[in-house]
Amino acid sequence: MNIVLIGNTVSFIGCALMVAVGFIKKKDHIIRVQCIQFTIQGAANLILGGVTGFIANLISIARNLWFARKEGTVKAKIFFIALQAVLSLMFLDTEAGIIGWFPLFSAAVFTWFLDVKSDAAFKIVILAAQVFWIVYDFYYSNYVACAFDIFTMISTTIGLYWILKDRSAA
């Protein structure tokens, strides 16, 4: 079986969870489902040769578990961003150029704003971080993930709309 087909099949499972996250309103629920999604997406990235994507997903799981239990201090944020930067540098696919760094850029944005209090603002952070993954997934032929990155942006925008609609109705 073709490695691209295998990677995209695994990716499809993680992508279904990724889109579902867009409809979840509560940040703590989002974080839990993301850990499962990151595991599956990390495996797909590894299968398709996207090592920095795999690293990003592993660090993101550790980060989410940490932030779910402890306060998101500046030191903790810098630690997780630096850890991912060092590991990405160690395993960077130099042929990918700047695109190889996109998982780090996405994780840095997400990590820095992970402790934002507003569920609506958190949705905006997810949208900003997702842009990097669209390009990265396309580059590594993770076409299923690329399509679902777009679907995730749509579902997250819908979730944001619902949050804002609930606020205006209150």
Q: Whole-model pTM? A: 0.80
pLDDT at 28: 80
Cβ–Cβ contacts within 10 Å for residue 125, how many? 19
Give, rounded to a whole angstrom, the gap between the first and last alpha carbons of the chain: 54
Each residue's pLDDT, cut to its tens digit, for the chain (170 residues) gives: 699 899 989 989 998 888 888 788 787 888 888 899 999 999 998 998 888 889 888 998 999 889 888 877 999 999 999 998 998 888 877 787 899 899 899 989 999 998 888 989 989 999 999 999 999 889 988 888 899 889 889 989 999 999 999 888 87
| Residue spans of alpha helices (H) in 48-91 | 51-69, 74-91
pLDDT at 78: 95
| Residue 141 and residue 167 in contact, taking contact as beta carbons nearer than 8 Å | no
Q: Using alpha carbons, list the distances in angstroms from residue 157 to 23, 38, 71, 142, 162.
A: 9, 20, 27, 23, 9
State CA 106 to chain mean position distance. 7
